[in-house]
Every structure is written in C-alpha cells, then in structure tokens.
Structure 1
C-alpha cells in the first residue's frame, strides 16, 4: 500500500472525526469517447490523463470524477477526502469494524487507504483538500425592470457550466444497513430518509444536505451524479442543450422535497443519469439537522412531471 507522506492538508475545527468530502467518483464504461461526448455537452471540462478521462468544472482544477474503460458500465469506486489528523483514526475505526484494507487498484495512486464496503463496492479514504462547500451555494434569481427584456435568444444563450459536484446517488440492496455502515465507518450523518427506500447523508464538517444518497435496488450500482449550477435558468438551458445534442431521455424540471433542490436529470449512454441541481439545502458543521423518516409518496418531489420508468432501473443489475 502506498505510504502517506509529503502532504499537508487543512486542519479540522471539530473534535469529531469523519470524512469531509466526496472527493470523486470513478466509473468504468465500455466507450470512453461516448463519455467524453456526453459530459462535454453537459458542460464539464473533460481532461484526458493517460487512460483516464477526468471530469472537471471550468475554472477549478479538482477532478470531481473520472471515467475509465471497462467491459460494461459499472461504479468502479468512490473516493472520500479527510483531514490529515483524521486519516489514522479513520483507518483504525474501519479496521476495528473487521474490514480488511486492500491495495489500490492498478493505475491509481493513493494518499490514503482502500477497502470494500459491505456490498463489495471499492472505496478509498485519503488526505485531501475539502471540496464540499463551507457555506450554502449562492443561487441567482435575476430579473429586470419594466421596459427591458430578461431573456436572450436561443442562439445567444450562454453555455451552462456546472460549478462543482454536489453528490452521487448509488443503489444498495439494503438502505438501512448502508446508513449504519457509512455512519460507523466514514462518520457520515443521516439527513433524511423515506422508509427503507431512499436515504440522504451529509458530512460532519459542513456539506450540502447530502453528499451521498442511497436508493434501494436488487444490487449495488451507480444511479446519478449531481452537479451544482447557479440558477433554474441554467437547469433549463442545460436540459435544452442536451436534448438538442440527442440526449432526450431524463426527468425534470422539478423540485425535490428532501434537499429542496430544483433538478433536471439527463440519461447518459448507459442508463444512469447526470443531474443539473440548483439551490440545495446546506447543513453547517455546527448544526444538527433534524433527520426524519418521511412518507415516500409525500417526499420524493414537490412538483414536476411524472417519474419515467427508466429512472428507477439499475442497469448494472441487469434491470430493463
């Protein structure tokens, strides 16, 4: 296992310890060029690094995600960032749960340690700068006064540029067991859940309402990555552009209940989704969010179109 050394990170301001960020997600797909086309049109800055395609946002050097080539689309691993003073404590806590640490997969450098979760998903915890936000993201609600036109023509509309990764949602065969796993290993906290169908978890050092979300399925897998944009107008423009580029399946425009964000999801070439998200709830590091168990039929979305069937399918589990 690669040793940790030569890395100075910010310090935590809390006696509690846990990861502070979802550093990146990594997908394996059968055609990296298809991923390049999809995420480029989505508004991300795609950077090739060897055999890896990095998902960056414009004006930000951090790689929020990566795509590698594989036989079939699959969630390769999730990487979480922590403060330097927490890495050893997290390692001991995870090993104390009887979880075996493993070597990094070929082609991946490590500034931390690796293991598999209770369902076999590969995970990394590493020392890294905090990339989850330290305050609620500013959203734009611009309008103009009388005698002025607020909208541009379609031809003059600006490109949509997501600002950062907000969260990922993954499938799990047991939502309640997964909540317990991430609480006792990574130090995540439950924000809200809806029965045993879906749950949302946040970081203890300040994060969006959820940096990791869980949804019930027959097996683990990747459902969507969510990207923060500055306005509902950006959501609409992004959805229009993706439709014009041939990515016409998805769900939105709507507003969620748990997290409160406005959304539009676009289906990728492998049956999972990328979400434009705006104005999600924020949980400061000193707050205790009043987590609750909500009725599923009353907490999925506040308004929006009917949920398409394909939105619920776990393609990695062979659902069709």
Structure 2
C-alpha cells in the first residue's frame, strides 16, 4: 500500500442542469455561503471551514460528479503522488500545475479506476473562516463523500494501493456480502466510503454540524422547508456519527451529520458490521428503516462524467 501523502478532503464538485435552483438550495436552505461565482459556476464555502469552498456547482446539460478533491501537505507531495500514479499506469487528466480556482495552489487531476475525476492539491490559500456559534445549524465542514461503485472491491483496492487510504470498517449483509467500505486518510473515521451499487454515481455528500443540538436544528429546518428526507435522524454504528439524509433538487443525496468518530491509528482494528441488524444502521432506533426505498434513492443516476474530465 502506498504511503499516504493525502491529508484531507477538500471539496466535491457537481455539474447540474439547473444551476440557479441548486445554488438556492445549498445557500438558502442547506447553509453554505456563495463565496466566488462566475457565469455558469459557483463556489460554495462552509462558514467553519478553512477551505476556499467545499462544494463547486457547474451548469451543464448532464448531471455528474465533476471531481472529488483532496489536499496534500506540500507541492513536493503532489509531485511525488503524480509520479507514482503515472508509473503505475493511472491516467492523468493533467500533470501538476498552478491551479486557477479560488485560492490557487498547485495540483493535478487523474481518473480513478471507474473514471471519476480526482484532484490532489497543496498550497491552496486558507479561507478566512469563523467558529460556528452555539445553536447555529450551518455546516462546519465537508465531512465525507460516499460513492456508488459497480466494482467496490476494485475501487477500494485502487484508493488503498495508489492513494494510501486505510480501511476503518466494512458493512456486510448475510445474503448480499460486503456492501460498503469506510476509508480514512487522517484521524476521521472516513473521508471516503465506497458502496456497492448498480453503477458509478454519487451516493451522498455529508456535512458536519457543530454538535448534536445544531444537527437536530438543521434537520428540523429542512423538514419545515419541505425538503424530502430519505433517512434519519439516527446514529450509525460504523463511525458513530449521526445522520439525516435529504434529496437536493437534482436527486443527489446530501447528509447532515455530527460527532464522526476519531480513530486511534495505533489501536484501531476494522470491524465487519452486519447491517441486517437494526442497531448497525441506527443505534438510536429513531430513523425510518433502511429499505428498498432508501437504497433506490441512494443509487442515484449513472454518472455521465466517467473518463470525461470537466472543462474547468
């Protein structure tokens, strides 16, 4: 397995047909801040995060994941990882170069094994951010991204072998086998998870709230606003984090969460959890049951951006 040079999750970038509607959802209801916008593109920040933006929206005919972006500590680490990938036969979108997105920096892009575009960058300017106050139910940061995969074993192996991700836990089902892998790149239980699905797509993007009270306030605000809830509120066993899953205007699942577990690297041993046991999906027993409806919504549409780099 590759020695990790990736430090953290930066942002997830989505292409959507109706940019105005998607932007209104994320800023007017979800609680992100429109920091940098141009014609056909918006960069949305989380008030508590030093990242220039945690979501980028781009107007396009096809709905897709444009890219998933991770940080590295130094430009030298960026160069090291790009060289490793090139030698291993991974297809680069472009080699390391100065980035033209907000905050600048130095980075490169490549396709993962299923064709998602991934960006690795360093030296991105820190955004002026602030401490989220008690009772303020807006995202502190982007917590994690979960992708659907038609080849979850191969996708897990790709991220472990080439990018240094480590397995935290696995979800399994007695009839269906292993269904989800939780992967970490730092002390957080997972920054990326890979779910077994019918096709590559976004499963969900998750946003950390300040604490339990703020998480519940945010969940309630979305319910009062009439946003369709898929699953929750509850608390998972893997990661020990809370969950409330909602649909954005384009059918992507987005999550409010808090209290994601921090892993002791020296003592941690991955668990194999059977999610046919109700307490695995929801320790509290407050969420609606995980069923075909929840699974179907989480499958999302086939990503139309596989092995096609976004134009920006």
What's the TM-score bracket when you normalise by the shorter of the two chains?
Answer: 0.7 to 0.9
Tell me which residue corresponds to 2:148. Answer: 171
Q: Are positions 1:300 and 2:281 aligned together?
A: yes
The aligned runs of 1:279-298 (5 Å cut-off) are 279-284=259-264, 286-287=265-266, 289-298=268-277
Instruction: Give yes or no for contact 2:132–2:140 (8 Å, CA) kept in 1.
Output: no
CA RMSD in angstroms comes to 2.8
Q: 1:121 to 1:16 in 2, by over 3 A?
A: closer
Q: Are positions 1:316 and 2:301 aligned together?
A: yes
Q: Are positions 1:200 and 2:195 aligned together?
A: no
**Among residues 166, 172, 175, which one is paired with 1:189 in the alignment?**
166
What is the TM-score of this pair, normalised by structure 1? 0.78
Return the alpha-carbon distance in structure 2 between the equivalents of residues 90 and 239 of structure 1: 39
Q: Residue 176 of structure 1 aligns to a residue in which SS?
A: helix
Q: 1:95 to 1:103 in 2, by over 3 A?
A: closer
Tell me which residue corresponds to 1:154. Answer: none
Instruction: Give yes or no for contact 2:48–2:141 (8 Å, CA) kept in 1.
Output: no
State the 1:226 CA deviation.
Answer: 0.9
Q: 1:130 to 1:61 in 2, by over 3 A?
A: closer
Instruction: Give yes or no for contact 1:29–1:73 (8 Å, CA) kept in 2.
Output: yes
**Unmatched 5+ stretches in structure 2:** 173-177, 304-312
Instruction: Give yes or no for contact 2:235–2:281 (8 Å, CA) kept in 1.
Output: no
Q: Residue 71 of structure 2 aligns to a residue in which SS?
A: strand
**Among residues 80, 102, 113, which one is paired with 1:118 in the alignment?**
113
Return the alpha-carbon distance in structure 2 between the equivalents of residues 267 and 26 of structure 1: 16
What is the TM-score of this pair, normalised by structure 2? 0.80
Q: Are positions 1:44 and 2:32 aligned together?
A: yes
Q: Residue 301 of structure 2 aligns to a residue in which SS?
A: helix
Larger radius of gyration, structure 1 or 2? Answer: 1
State the 1:127 CA deviation.
Answer: 1.5
Return the alpha-carbon distance in structure 1 between the equivalents of residues 125 and 189 of structure 2: 16
State the 1:86 CA deviation.
Answer: 1.8
Greater displacement, 65-74 / 303-312: 303-312
Tell me which residue corresponds to 1:79. Answer: 69
Instruction: Give yes or no for contact 2:106–2:124 (8 Å, CA) kept in 1.
Output: no
Return the alpha-carbon distance in structure 2 between the equivalents of residues 30 and 287 of structure 1: 46
- Number of residue pairs matched by the alignment: 278
Q: Are positions 1:268 and 2:248 aligned together?
A: yes
Q: 1:290 to 1:130 in 2, by over 3 A?
A: farther
State the 1:130 CA deviation.
Answer: 11
Q: Are positions 1:58 and 2:47 aligned together?
A: yes
Return the alpha-carbon distance in structure 2 between the equivalents of residues 73 and 111 of structure 1: 27
**Among residues 275, 278, 301, which one is paired with 2:258 in the alignment?**
278
**Unmatched 5+ stretches in structure 1:** 1-14, 132-137, 143-157
State the 1:310 CA deviation.
Answer: 4.1
Q: 1:59 to 1:125 in 2, by over 3 A?
A: closer
Q: 1:202 to 1:290 in 2, by over 3 A?
A: same
Q: Deviations over 1:239-297 (max 9, x none)?
A: 2211222213321110101000112111111222221111110125x535211322231
Greater displacement, 302-311 / 36-45: 302-311
Return the alpha-carbon distance in structure 1 between the equivalents of residues 132 and 17 of structure 2: 36
Instruction: Give yes or no for contact 2:150–2:198 (8 Å, CA) kept in 1.
Output: yes
The aligned runs of 1:107-146 (5 Å cut-off) are 111-128=106-123
